[in-house]
Amino acid sequence: MLSPMEKSNFYPDLIIFICNAEQACRLLTLSIFIDGVMPKIKIGGPTCRVSIIYPMIANEVNISFYDYTARRLCNVPNDKLLVSIPYKRIPTIIRNIDRCSGGGSKDKISP
């Protein structure tokens, strides 16, 4: 079943974020903050496979640019993509928002 999070009455297996590239980068940074292990991202193929099926079966964070047909049929804005995160990873991401530069910690960039 697909539904907006605020309307869900159960914990989902997967959360799909519709976001821009900067937001996707932040989500990816937060998802690897604890162990630094990059997910095995698969971006090619139908939107349903790379945004729902693959992340659920592989238990991996994934990024999808949508497939071209889905973009056209659904009038997806040019700046939107999908980030799929297995729900069991969300509590760790939330706990680290204030500790990670992808979240709210202050970036320290040398001049």
28 is a domain residue: yes
Q: How does pLDDT run across 18-47, given as a tens digit for each residue?
A: 999 999 999 999 999 988 899 999 988 999
| Structural domain containing residue 41 | 12-93
63 is a domain residue: yes
The token pair at 68 is 């071209």
5 is a domain residue: no
57 is a domain residue: yes
Tally of domains in the chain: 1
2 is a domain residue: no
6 is a domain residue: no
| pLDDT of 111 higher than 70 | no
What mean pLDDT comes out for the span 84-93?
A: 94
Count of CB atoms situated within 10 Å of the CB of 90:
17
Q: What is the DSSP letter of 102?
A: T
53 is a domain residue: yes
105 is a domain residue: no
